[in-house]
Structures are given as structure tokens and as C-alpha cells.
Amino acid sequence: MFCPKCRSLMISSGGQLKCRKCGFLRDFTDNDSPKGTKAGGGRAITIIEDEKEIATLPTIQITCSKCGHNMAFWWLRQLRAADESEVRFFRCCECGNTWRQYD
């Protein structure tokens, strides 16, 4: 979230968002919290949950282990250190099963 006064990045401070530059304070709203996070290995991983967002993702021919359908949406996330490869996520176009593939 960016400060409405000076456009600097705001940080979390005592249950509010605070601007580092000008000191502007604002309470958290529902739009400020990340949506669709699932814990994995002690870290939160953002998984795409919005159906409108899913429909715009590229597709690939890959077999779903749950239903056997051969088409899935895919996207990349950097979960490990910057010098390691990204993780590719897949979501079946038919049943919605989500899985990952490491390079």
C-alpha cells in the first residue's frame, strides 16, 4: 500500500499502516490483507484464488493426477532464495486441482 499524501511505501505498525516518509497513519481494511494464502514450510505462499485471474493465465498440456484431464493453467512463484529456480504451479482446467513442479 502506498501513502495517499506522499506516495511512499507504507509499513505495518501496531495494527495500522504507517508511512515512513511523512508519518501518515491508516487502519487496515479487508483489501490490505493478502487473499488465498496457504502455509507451507513455515512461510505463506500466495495461491491464485480469483476465477477471473485464473482465466487470464496461460495453459499447458499436462495431465492432472486427480482427474486425468490434460490441460492446466500455470504460473511461476519465487519461493526459495533468489539464486534458485522458481516454482511452477499448475491448476487443472477441469477439476481445479492445484500442484507444483520444481525445476
pLDDT of residue 49: 57
35-102: what CATH class? mainly beta
- Flag whether the pTM goes above 0.85: no
Q: Where in the chain is the domain with CATH 2.20.70?
A: 1-33
Per-residue confidence (pLDDT) for residue 67, from 0 to 100: 93
Cα–Cα distance measured from residue 25 to residue 11, given in angstroms and rounded to the nearest whole number: 10
Each of the 103 residues of the chain gets a pLDDT tens digit; together they read 678 888 888 777 777 888 888 888 887 776 665 444 455 555 555 565 555 556 678 899 999 999 999 999 888 888 778 788 888 999 998 898 999 888 7
CA torsion sign for 50, 51, 56, 57 is positive
The pLDDT of residue 35: 46
1-33 fold: Ubiquitin Ligase Nedd4; Chain: W; (2.20.70)
For the chain, where do the domains classified as CATH 2.20.25.10 start and end?
A: 35-102
Q: Which residues share a beta bridge with 46?
A: 37
